[in-house]
Amino acid sequence: MTASGPAARDAGLQPERTRLAWRRTTLACSVTAVLALRTALRGSGSPVEVLGAAVIVLIWLAFLGVAHRRVRQLAAARPPGLSTRSALAAVACAVALSVFAVAVIV
């Protein structure tokens, strides 16, 4: 602490590394979604396939929302920690997308 108040936090490159990790994860999630959609829509176009594609898009959009919010939070001088709710949402989206992608491929 200084006489004028708490010392400024020097986070170094940690927020930038975390931001880049979120972007890499978002890219991997996007690639998985695109490949699953391509496989789902390549079939006969049955209502089940279309519904599966719609669910994949919704899961992908939910993950993008969680990731975008976290990347914006990391721009702050003192970024808050990842909330339990956001962490669970990200994990749920990743697992759900993986399950639907496997279901579409098989």
pLDDT digits (tens, 9 = 90+) for 27-65: 988 988 888 788 777 877 778 778 878 888 898 999 999
Partnered with residue 2 across adjacent β-strands are 5
Q: Rounded to whole angstroms, how far apart are CA atoms 26 and 18? A: 12
CA 29-67-41 angle, 5° bins: 30
Q: Is 21 or 4 the better-scoring residue by pLDDT?
A: 21
Residues with Cβ within 8 Å of residue 22, at least 6 apart in sequence: 67, 70, 71, 74
pTM of the model: 0.74
Residue 29, both tokens: 């999630």
